[in-house]
A = this chain, B = another copy of it.
Amino acid sequence: MTTQFDNVTVLKKGNVYFDGKCVSHTVIFADGTKKTLGVILPSSLTFNTGAPEIMEINGGSCNVRLKGEDAWKTYAAGTSFNVPGDSSFEIEVTETVDYVCHFG
């Protein structure tokens, strides 16, 4: 797993969600695709998806339950999970999470 993205564009304006529990910055790649690079502080939140997402966890730890599932699964640095489009997931962040969100 790489620790950085090279040769990208990054938007100066951040994205702030849930009163700052989640802060991200948008990265645009040479092929026009976008990803967001963010931090989620310890909290229990529900995120809704538009496009399908892959959440790559690069630091911290969290428990996640996808919409329609009964089980919570734990994700830490070096793991990732997929979220369908037009869906949602609950996340309990137990240790501040660094993530990259891949869309589509």
Residues of A within 8 A of B (CB): 2-14, 16, 19-21, 23, 25, 27-28, 37-39, 41, 58-59, 96, 98, 100
Contact = CB atoms under 8 A, between A and B. Distances in A.
A59 B11 CA distance: 12
Nearest to A97: B14
* Chain A residues touching B, majority SS: strand
21 contacts: A2-B12, A3-B12, A4-B10, A4-B11, A5-B9, A6-B9, A7-B9, A8-B8, A8-B10, A10-B10, A10-B27, A10-B37, A12-B37, A14-B98, A16-B41, A19-B41, A20-B20, A20-B21, A23-B23, A23-B39, A25-B25
A9 B41 CA distance: 24
Chain copies in the assembled complex:
2
A15 B9 CA distance: 19
A11 B6 CA distance: 9
A37 B16 contact: no
